Amino acid sequence: MRVLIVEDEVGAAQRLQKMLLKIRPDYIVLDHLESISETVRYLENHSQPDLVFLDIHLGDGLSFNIFKKVRLESPIIFTTAFDKYTLQAFKVNSIDYLLKPLEEEALRQAIEKFESLYPRVNIFSPDLASQLLKSLDKKQFKQRFLAKSGKALSYLETDYVCYFYSEDGVVFVKNLQGQRYIVDGTLDQMEGKLDPDQFFRINRKIIVHIKAIEQIRPYLNSRLHLQCTDNSDLDLIVSRDRVASFKKWLDG
Q: Residue 186: helix, strand or coil by DSSP?
A: coil
For residue 162, the model assigns a pLDDT of: 93
What residue spans define the domains of the chain? 2-137, 144-250
- Based on the number of CB atoms within 10 Å of its own CB, is 165 exposed (0-12), middle (13-18) or buried (19 or more)? buried
The rounded distance, in Å, linking the Cα atoms of 93 and 145 is 34
Angle, alpha carbons 20-30-54 (nearest 5°): 65
Element (H, E) at 32: strand 28-33
What kind of architecture, by CATH, is found in domain 144-250?
Beta Barrel (2.40)
Nearest to 196 by CA among 152, 238, 138, 235: 138
pLDDT in tens, the chain (252 residues): 999 999 999 999 999 999 999 999 999 999 999 999 999 999 999 999 999 999 988 888 888 889 889 988 888 888 887 655 445 545 544 667 787 788 999 999 989 988 888 877 666 666 666 666 666 555 668 888 999 998 899 989 999 999 999 999 899 999 988 899 999 989 999 888 898 989 999 999 999 999 899 999 999 999 999 998 876 778 899 999 999 999 999 987
**Which residues are 203's β-sheet partners?**
206
Element (H, E) at 236: strand 236-238
The contacts of residue 14 (CB under 8 Å, 6+ apart) are none
For residue 90, the model assigns a pLDDT of: 56
Return the CATH fold of 2-137.
Rossmann fold (3.40.50)
pTM: 0.52
